[in-house]
Amino acid sequence: MATVLAIETSCDETAVAIVNNRNVCSSVVASQIALHQTYGGVVPEMASREHLMTINPCLEKALEESHLGWQDIDGIAATVAPGLVGALMMGATTAKTLSIVHHKPFIGVHHLEGHIYATYLSDRAWNPPFLCLLVSGGHTSLIWVKDCGVYEQLGATRDDAAGEAFDKVARLLNLGYPGGPAIDRLAKTGNPQAFPLPEGRVSLPQGGYHPYDSSFSGLKTAVLRLVQNLEKEDKNNLPLADLAASFQETVARSLTKKTIACALDYGINSIAVGGGVAANSELRKQLQEAGFKHNIKVHFPTLKLCTDNAAMIGCAAADHLNRGHTSSLTLNVNSRLSITDVMQIYR
């Protein structure tokens, strides 16, 4: 029953949490959104500097809120892949230093495995095997979760990730950064049937379409063309809510179709969703409804656990530590490590 202090700095949130297996003792998230908003996206160098400034106050707060001391901590974890290299290094170096100072094992964690483990924090009885739809700012994957560290990737995106598509379309509509929450909010007052848009499909060389892979670049271009045409008619009165609702409905429908098809084809009867886009209200609605129809259990983590946090990293680290998996202090961060290679992190 390991208690782990975990650090997450792979992108634009500085987060520290203390987790005992599937129980969160404390979780602190310092968002850098305000810093990057001016630039319309994350500026990697600024993200690293901000992590450096924020990490110590976050550590202090997490320890204080947990009412625990260093003597209660069994291991120190940090996200080591994938993500922005400079940002990952801030968290990993801090965790390694703490592990040396306090004589505790260091546990590297794969960010996507963290998103998978968010499921266990919001449903403690949930266990593999299940299908995980992982939809974040950098990834859109269908992962067959078989056990701790044992993953098979069944679907991926060929171009933009789902969250990236939300962010790019939001920028096009001048809705600010991050785009997902802005589109979600605006879509509530729009008509999702206002503009028919193409669902991203990936052609196969032998004809037909890949059943589980996604593509969002065509959809993004279709929204761009639509906006350009609408601007010709009336530049100052774009139907923003209808555009947001139509785009969001198309993404949710496309992801729902592929996820359900994949689960049915592989005979998997439970689906968990992870990553920032799992917070999307339309995706939550469509996938829950489709799951109900096909008798497949569908789980969405609570909203706070969908977006980046360190509690999910701590939960994954605790499971690895319980199984004797620890990482070398010479382990480097890796911007691109695949989830199927996650065991490379451990010795």
Buried b (16+ CB within 10 A) or exposed e, 91-104: bbbbbbebbeeeeb
CB of 327 to ligand KG4, least distance (A): 21
Site string for ligand KG4, 48-77 (x = CB under 6 A): ------------------------------
- Using CB under 5 A as the binding rule, the residues of this chain from 118 to 137 that contact Zn ion are 136
Contact 271, 119 (CB under 8 A): no
- Pick from 160, 242, 282, 308 the residue near Zn ion by CB under 5 A: 308
Residues 6+ apart with CB under 8 A from 313: 6, 7, 8, 15, 17, 77, 78, 79, 109, 111, 114, 117
Q: Given the DSSP bridges, would you call strands 106-110 and 75-81 parallel, antiparallel or unpaired? A: parallel
- Using CB under 6 A as the binding rule, the residues of this chain from 160 to 179 that contact ligand KG4 are 163, 166-167, 178-179
Site string for ligand KG4, 215-254 (x = CB under 6 A): ----------------------------------------
Distance CA 29, CA 328 (A): 26
First to last CA, the chain: 20
119 binds ligand KG4 (CB under 6 A): no
190 binds ligand KG4 (CB under 6 A): no
Nearer to Zn ion, 275 or 291 (CB): 275
Tokens of 160: 């933009």
Tokens of 228: 């350009």
Please name every residue paired with 75 in a beta bridge, in sequence order, or none if there are none.
4
179 binds, among ligand KG4, Zn ion, none (CB under 5 to 8 A by kind): ligand KG4
Please name every residue paired with 141 in a beta bridge, in sequence order, or none if there are none.
134
CB of 18 to ligand KG4, least distance (A): 20
- Classify 87 as helix, strand or coil: helix
CB of 111 to Zn ion, least distance (A): 6
- Pick from 276, 291, 301, 314 the residue near ligand KG4 by CB under 6 A: 276
Residues found near ligand KG4 in the complex (CB under 6 A): 11, 136-138, 163, 166-167, 178-181, 184, 275-277, 279-280, 307-308
